[in-house]
Amino acid sequence: MSDVTTTDLYEVTMALSYVREGMDRPATFSLFVRGLPPGRGFLVSAGLEPALDYLSGFRVTRADVRRFAAALDRDPEALEPLLGLAFEGEVRGVPEGRVVHAGEPLLEVTAPLPEAQLVETYLLSLVSHQTAVASKAARCVLAAGGHPVVDFSLRRTHGPQAGFQAARTAGLVGFAGTSNVAAATRLGLPASGTMAHSYVEAFPDEEAAFRAFARAHPGPVTFLVDTYDTERGVAVAARVLRDLHRGAGCGVRLDSGDLDALSRRTRELLDAAGLPEVRIVVSGGLDEYGVDALVRAGAPVDVYAVGTKVGTSADAPYLDSAYKLVEYDGRPVMKLSSAKVTAPGRKQVFRTPGGPDVLALRDEPRPDGAEPLLRTVMRGGRRLGPPDDLASAHARFVRDVTALPAAARRMRDPEPPVPQVSPRLAALTEGVRERLVEQAKAAGGSR
Amino acid sequence: MSDVTTTDLYEVTMALSYVREGMDRPATFSLFVRGLPPGRGFLVSAGLEPALDYLSGFRVTRADVRRFAAALDRDPEALEPLLGLAFEGEVRGVPEGRVVHAGEPLLEVTAPLPEAQLVETYLLSLVSHQTAVASKAARCVLAAGGHPVVDFSLRRTHGPQAGFQAARTAGLVGFAGTSNVAAATRLGLPASGTMAHSYVEAFPDEEAAFRAFARAHPGPVTFLVDTYDTERGVAVAARVLRDLHRGAGCGVRLDSGDLDALSRRTRELLDAAGLPEVRIVVSGGLDEYGVDALVRAGAPVDVYAVGTKVGTSADAPYLDSAYKLVEYDGRPVMKLSSAKVTAPGRKQVFRTPGGPDVLALRDEPRPDGAEPLLRTVMRGGRRLGPPDDLASAHARFVRDVTALPAAARRMRDPEPPVPQVSPRLAALTEGVRERLVEQAKAAGGSR
């Protein structure tokens, strides 16, 4: 499927009009999240690298023109002005893994207006989704308090591509592994997995299943012990592991029932069997709240496997993201209508240790000790450096999340920090608003 | 990305063990949804056609084997037994567009155990997501009560692939169009779109924007009128349409504010301007509840555009789906552990007009007047007919949804119909349960 036609029709109708009108002066669009959903005290920037991949390859081919024409029920000739249009603009972005807040641009695209417009939908789809999942996954890492968390979400994500993106963003915030083989091998993440209930059921009994699994896998194995009766399953697993002289790196997985009580009982049984090194993996409908409850209760869990609720960011499956025109041909612009006022102008976010972020205009001087979040990552449609890697993104995440106020990091009713607006940006916003209100009055008067 | 490696690692470890053990007898897995989320009175089967595409192309290549080995940190030789493994089994499925209920199989896969196992994750990811979105979209169609509904979800779906799938499932339940150009042109759906606020902002004023848009698009146009002040925007749109002698097929879009009040005022203004044929399109955070409220209030809305909340099935972003082994080598199997008991054996669902569905064993005689929901659609890894089309799926949906009890169709607190279990299936379930309980006791006793 062409990435170019994976777009809203209106991007095409607008771009065509812009080209016809000769409106190809530089436009800046700002991609940001208006407000955080309940249950989030911060966001984690994700999706910038895939976005740059997309922009690097963006070029309207003849086949794309034919599809545009078909969608508009017009002759392909009418769409010819878009042929060959490529993305040759500038991108400033917040590197992946950084903590961001409401209203702060995740990326700003500056390019001739038709190009900057045509890429809107795809960029929003990539960045909104990945930032949503990364922000949920980040909370799981915080809840686990140093215990490894692994991603088991692929089966319930919104299709296979969403599963890949979920595994990637989970890796970005420090998950210890993913069950997704494609994601693990492409991204260099540890692959993680055990066995299904169906595996146990396919054998005459649990012992036969566990022994067969160990025959196929000479390294560490993890047995799923809750297919029939969990305590009996643990006893069988312990017997097989002892018989085979395995233990180090091995584990048992609990996937149902009262995970707190069962993990304690399992720990007792394993210790009594002389297998203190065998780890307990838990799964089954967990998200940060489930992990937090087990960690706070002191459940003897070694590895937390989270899936569906994290991979779909189930309690907040979308972010209120926007891709707003903030400047055209040097003129700051904004929208006036109710409840969705956005600040005009190209922006920068300054972060100072211990203080609130400052949302400022791009060219404002950097306050003392402040760090700018937005970096220029693409110019003339080309990346300015090699692709970023997940390890670097993870290091940024750890640094940023550690510096957050505790109220932003807590599980229940977190309080998102609110960025300050610089006096210059506030003044510009007010000035543009006044100009637009006057203009709207004039337009109304001329009816 | 290889579809074969887009799988959970445990599918690979289990399949390898099955091959090593010579456990390649036929296995049947049943894919179903355990229970409906709140706010759903029925599900709509979706994802079967993409699932058949996936299965048709499933074959483990040498590159896949290398990735499996890398994920398991083993030599590729150890994974050689999986090389060349293809899907050559049978699939019985509920055709897309049919209404289904909790516990009813959406599809049953029967194949040699390793094959049937390896395809689990991908099938779940396709079918769960698409059925979730189709079921949400179906409620929008019901709420709209005959008014056209269009899909604007691509920008906030879980990535571009999820957006394509969302547009497809929306088409399947009868949406009148989608903004997604790739989906519209590939699937033969009408493409739908207007203009963005940024378009209006890029011009000196609204009138200039609307006139430029009309110059680029000689056919019907829809103007977005709420960028600055909605009433003034409507007045400007009316003036431009009148000047250009346009009207039929044209519209104005309201994307913010009190859509009920604004649509009434807009209708008055358009009618007063002599433009009764100009349509009113509304958008902005709508789902079935928002549509229902406007329809019940009698708001003069012509087209409902729904996006984010429908494309992500935001109030129920996942389904409690399962892919359960129900028979291996002629032996019915099931899982005993708490709260997740599943019925064993290969199944059929019989639907009788006016009565509840009956969940039965596959080979049971069909009750008088009943229609079987599961059809054999693939045998020997090959489709038994040409791919189904969305129009047929839509016709099935209309027939099924019309026959549903009103309580299942209503917006607030719908009551999902509960399928009956046939006496033979109930007896088999009890028999297998007793056997497993005895077996578990015996295994426990032998510690």
B444 and A232 in contact by Cβ < 8 A? yes
Please say if the pLDDT value at position B337 is more than 90: no
In a domain, A222, yes or no: yes
A228 and B440 in contact by Cβ < 8 A? yes
Share of chain B above pLDDT 90, in %: 90
Average pLDDT over residues A160-172: 97
Shortest Cα distance from B349 to chain A (angstroms)?
A: 23
Domain assignment of residue B357, given as a range: 9-133+316-445
Q: Which of A9, A205, A215 sits opposite B192 (nearest CB)?
A: A9
Higher pLDDT: B311 or B198? It is B311
Average pLDDT over residues A380-396: 97
Residues of A in contact with B237 (CB under 8 A): none
Q: For residues A329 and A389, state if they share a domain.
A: yes
Q: For residues B83 and B179, state if they share a domain.
A: no
Which of B21, B158, B310 best probes binding to A when mutated, by most A CB atoms within 10 angstroms?
B158
In a domain, A181, yes or no: no
B193 and A328 in contact by Cβ < 8 A? no
Q: How confident is the model at residue A443 (pLDDT cuts 50, 70, 90)?
A: low
Q: Which residues contact A427 (CB under 8 A, 6 or more apart)?
A: none
- The C-alpha atoms of residue A116 and residue A366 are separated, in whole angstroms, by 27
Q: For residues B59 and B27, state if they share a domain.
A: yes
Average pLDDT over residues B182-190: 97
In a domain, B196, yes or no: yes
Neighbours of B428 (CB within 10 A): 18
A308 and B325 in contact by Cβ < 8 A? no
Please say if the pLDDT value at position A447 is more than 50: no
Please say if the pLDDT value at position A6 is more than 90: yes
- The C-alpha atoms of residue A111 and residue B403 are separated, in whole angstroms, by 53
B447 and A324 in contact by Cβ < 8 A? no
Domains identified in chain B, total number: 2
In a domain, B275, yes or no: yes
Kindly state the tokens that stand for A56. Answer: 């690097």
Please give the pLDDT value at position B354.
Answer: 87
Amino acid letter for position B353? P
B152 and A8 in contact by Cβ < 8 A? yes
A213 and B9 in contact by Cβ < 8 A? no
The complex scores an ipTM of 0.95
Please give the pLDDT value at position B447.
Answer: 36
The alpha helices in B288-352, defined as continuous H runs, are 288-297, 308-311
How far is residue B177 from each of residues A313, A405, B119, B218, B224, measured CA to CA in Å? 28, 46, 32, 20, 18
Please give the pLDDT value at position A70.
Answer: 97
B338 and A157 in contact by Cβ < 8 A? no
Query: B321 near B34, Cβ under 8 Å?
Result: yes
The residue from B279, B311, B343 where one domain ends is B311
In a domain, A97, yes or no: yes
Altogether, the residues listed in chain B come to a count of: 447
Q: What is the CATH number of the domain that holds A227?
A: 3.20.20.70
Q: For residues B356 and B297, state if they share a domain.
A: no
- The C-alpha atoms of residue A236 and residue A264 are separated, in whole angstroms, by 17
Q: What is the CATH number of the domain that holds A97?
A: 3.20.140.10
Shortest Cα distance from A352 to chain B (angstroms)?
A: 32
- Residue of chain B with shortest Cα separation from A6: B182
B182 and A6 in contact by Cβ < 8 A? yes
- The C-alpha atoms of residue B54 and residue B340 are separated, in whole angstroms, by 28
Average pLDDT over residues A31-50: 97
Q: For residues B155 and B296, state if they share a domain.
A: yes
Average pLDDT over residues A199-217: 95
Beta-strand relationship, B331-332 and B99-100: unpaired
Residues of B in contact with A334 (CB under 8 A): 201
Please say if the pLDDT value at position B336 is more than 80: no
Please say if the pLDDT value at position A339 is more than 60: no
| pLDDT tens-digit map of B37-95 | 999 999 999 999 999 999 999 999 999 999 999 999 999 999 999 999 999 999 999 99
Q: For residues B223 and B338, state if they share a domain.
A: no
Q: For residues B252 and B331, state if they share a domain.
A: no
Residues of B in contact with A118 (CB under 8 A): none
Shortest Cα distance from A292 to chain B (angstroms)?
A: 22
The residue from A282, A310, A337 where one domain ends is A282
Which strands make up the sheet holding B279-282, listed edge to edge?
B177-178, B149-151, B303-306, B279-282, B251-254, B222-224
In a domain, A173, yes or no: no
Please say if the pLDDT value at position A292 is more than 90: yes
Q: Which of A113, A155, A160 sits opposite B202 (nearest CB)?
A: A113
Shortest Cα distance from A332 to chain B (angstroms)?
A: 10
| pLDDT tens-digit map of B220-236 | 999 999 998 999 999 99
| pLDDT tens-digit map of B247-282 | 899 999 999 999 999 999 999 999 999 999 999 999
Residues of A in contact with B226 (CB under 8 A): 337
In a domain, B4, yes or no: no
Q: Which of A191, A229, A314 sits opposite B318 (nearest CB)?
A: A314
Kindly state the tokens that stand for A247. Answer: 């233990």
Please give the pLDDT value at position A51.
Answer: 98
Q: For residues A100 and A207, state if they share a domain.
A: no
| pLDDT tens-digit map of A117-156 | 999 999 999 999 999 999 999 999 999 999 999 999 999 9
Residues of B in contact with A72 (CB under 8 A): 191, 217, 219
B212 and A152 in contact by Cβ < 8 A? no
- The C-alpha atoms of residue A164 and residue A160 are separated, in whole angstroms, by 6
Neighbours of B76 (CB within 10 A): 14
Please give the pLDDT value at position B253.
Answer: 98
> Across chain A, what does the average pLDDT equal?
95
Q: How confident is the model at residue B158 (pLDDT cuts 50, 70, 90)?
A: very high
Please say if the pLDDT value at position A379 is more than 80: yes
Average pLDDT over residues B403-427: 96
Which of A3, A24, A67, A318 best probes binding to B when mutated, by most B CB atoms within 10 angstroms?
A318
Kindly state the tokens that stand for A224. Answer: 């799923």
Q: For residues A244 and A341, state if they share a domain.
A: no
Query: A422 near A123, Cβ under 8 Å?
Result: no
- The C-alpha atoms of residue B332 and residue B23 are separated, in whole angstroms, by 16
The residue from B311, B331, B363 where one domain ends is B311
In a domain, B1, yes or no: no
Q: For residues B300 and B328, state if they share a domain.
A: no
Please say if the pLDDT value at position B445 is more than 50: no
Q: Which of B195, B256, B334 sits opposite A10 (nearest CB)?
A: B195
- The C-alpha atoms of residue B434 and residue B422 are separated, in whole angstroms, by 19
- Residue of chain B with shortest Cα separation from A326: B198
> Across chain B, what does the average pLDDT equal?
95
Q: Which of B164, B191, B226 sits opposite A337 (nearest CB)?
A: B226
Cβ pairs bridging A and B (under 8 Å): 385
Shortest Cα distance from B382 to chain A (angstroms)?
A: 22
Please say if the pLDDT value at position A221 is more than 50: yes
Q: For residues B115 and B161, state if they share a domain.
A: no
